[in-house]
Structure 1
Amino acid sequence: MSLEQAWYRSSRWCWLLLPLSWLFAVVAAARRYAYQQGWLRSESLPVPVLVVGNISVGGTGKTPFTLWLCRWLQQQGYRPGIISRGYGARITDPVVVSPDHTAAEVGDEPLLLARQSGCPVVVCPDRLAAGRALLAAQRCDLIISDDGLQHYRLQRSFEVVLIDGQRGFGNGFLLPAGPLREPVSRLNSADLVIANSGSHPLAQGKMSLKVQAVRPLLADDAQAETVLPTSSAVHLLAAIGNPERFAITVQQAGYSIAERFFFPDHHDFTEQELLSLPTPLLMTAKDAVKCQAFAKAGWFYLEVEAELDRESQQQLAAWLAAHCPKTELP
């Protein structure tokens, strides 16, 4: 059993890690308090910053939500930009993400966002530097900080926290005994808490993932015009925070699952380790950007789109009207 599996099951050996969790809690609380008191310096950007994050390790649906948010903001007449850490990439200075980048260069999630959001994306572990670089390169009137909830050096205008509506917070312990980056009480200070693919008593809103299409990785292949029938038995490939949610989505779309090949989140796939996998192989869009360069016939990815409940949209719209007046950008 992996450590992550233990977090979401009744595993008594997690209790052995509790002293480290208490230490982690003290350090995390002290760090946040230091920023609140001004002992550690935080800085603002000249445009509003909307943070999308979570308090737990693993997938909560931040990427599909961010894609939804970008499209929704554009429909409202805004010109948002995205900043992200670029997890897994060796980045020290801000990089403006191009669709031609590889996931190894800029991270899988930022690359997916750059290809699908229609918004400029800049990656850097220092979100403040990323935001400055974004504004220097592009005319944006609002910045979305992807997975930036714990990056307190950058001041924020609005916080959206996503919860896994299926797994919740596991055993409720902080790292390393549990999956939490911050205690559940942190939700009290967030502006909007949304449960993904389920419900949660601490969430004000709900998000669901709807299947849009199944697409081949080889766009110029003859299979590009072939629809993978929903009666097909597929082999799943995923390296995301909650692969079981992916499996459930695939089954809800009408497919049966023959085998599952699940890897740790953000796993950097190589051509060699996937050569012998059976087809049809169905993966997530986030994994597809890592496998595109060595894709084979019979490899597909599931395109999903987030849907947000009306009440959450109304809350976002009210905040925008009050704090983000539209500006005429050239």
Structure 2
Amino acid sequence: MKPPAYWFDGSRPPLHARLLARLYGAATRLRLKLLRPRKVARPVVVIGNLIAGGSGKTPLTIAVVERLRAEGWTPGVASRGYGREQAGTPRWVEATTDPRLGGDEPVLIAARTGAFVRVDKDRVRAARKLIEAGCDVVVCDDGLQHYRLRRDLEIEVIDGRRRYGNGWLIPAGPMREPAARSAGCDFRVLNTGVDDALEAGFGEWPMRLQTGRVLPLAGGRPLPLSAFAGQRVHAVAGIGHPERFFDTLREAGIAVVPHAFDDHHRYSAEDLQFGSDLPVLMTEKDAVKCMRFVGERHFSVPVSAQLPEAFWIALLDRLRALAR
């Protein structure tokens, strides 16, 4: 669902939204007072954001899992699996799991990393299952506001262009929690996407999303993204901020015919019928949900999160200290 324009365009939210935002804030504070966080037997790293919608959490989650495995850890991923069917049923997620049951982001993470991925509305229970399976660190994809699971490290991901919008709480603005909450996070990662003009501020780590190849969804050899430079394509994005994907393609010299869908949209074959035979490029998150009806003109554009080596050194040092 597209957010109201006043969240990000500088205009004043309507009175009813501001009143509801105050009620939302009061309810959030009350919930925090009543909660008693549960600790699990291994370190927990939560990757999340303070605004509603996407900010680049999943690419960072994948990067963290891959780096931890390279350093000898056995990470497991806990996720709610937002928007999935049978949401009350916990399950293990693999690359072959139907995204309708496992959730689009968990299936993508499983496919990219090969790590244990557990979806469960109860993240404490998910974390314990991952530890029983042999994981020595639990990485939560999203869940910054899921305080029932005690976390050892928090990583906030910030959209480099939109940041906190107007700063108001939902529904007057995009904030799930007040901006002051950011100061309590151990790491603050600024998603600059492909925009070299965006710079991280004090206390922020820059994260750039790199695209190197394009994958034909019907099978075949990967292509460089540059192979589509100078062409018109249909660009499909059902993510929190579709313009980020469209801008990535434009930066590569591709003429974009944009098709934005709601985050976690459930695709049908009709959604990809655009009345012309142009190539269709989509995000990985969308591609995992479209495999049943793709053809030779459909492609996925994977992205990889690139962060300074100093970020990884700092994160690994903190984790090693926790594991002692």
TM over 0.5: yes
CA-CA distance at 1:56 after TM superposition: 0.5
1:162 paired to 2:173 = no
In structure 1, distance between residues paired with 2:237 and 2:109: 18
Q: Aligned partner of 2:283: which letter?
A: T
- Name 1:328's counterpart in structure 2: none
SS in 2 for 1:3: coil
Change (3 A) 1:94 1:12: same
Deviations 1:244-291 (A, max 9, x none): 11111112223221x111011111111123234532111100000011
1:132 paired to 2:128 = yes
* Number of matched pairs: 315
Unaligned runs of 5+ in 2: 193-197
- Name 1:69's counterpart in structure 2: 64
Identity of aligned residues (%): 37
- Name 1:117's counterpart in structure 2: 113
- Name 2:240's counterpart in structure 1: 241
SS in 1 for 2:45: strand
SS in 2 for 1:125: coil
- Name 2:208's counterpart in structure 1: 208
- Name 1:26's counterpart in structure 2: 26
Residue pair 1:94, 1:129 contacting (<8 A) in 2 also: no
SS in 1 for 2:149: coil
CA-CA distance at 1:307 after TM superposition: 0.3
- Name 1:218's counterpart in structure 2: 218
Change (3 A) 1:130 1:195: same
Q: Aligned partner of 2:262: which letter?
A: P
1:50 paired to 2:48 = no
- Name 1:10's counterpart in structure 2: 10
In structure 1, distance between residues paired with 2:164 and 2:230: 34
- How does the TM-score come out when normalised to structure 1? 0.90
SS in 2 for 1:290: coil
1:177 paired to 2:177 = no
CA-CA distance at 1:24 after TM superposition: 0.6
Q: Aligned partner of 1:213: which letter?
A: R
- Name 1:148's counterpart in structure 2: 143
- Name 1:287's counterpart in structure 2: 286
SS in 1 for 2:228: coil
CA-CA distance at 1:322 after TM superposition: 1.3
In structure 2, distance between residues paired with 1:59 and 1:165: 12
- Name 2:195's counterpart in structure 1: none
- How does the TM-score come out when normalised to structure 2? 0.92
CA-CA distance at 1:44 after TM superposition: 1.1
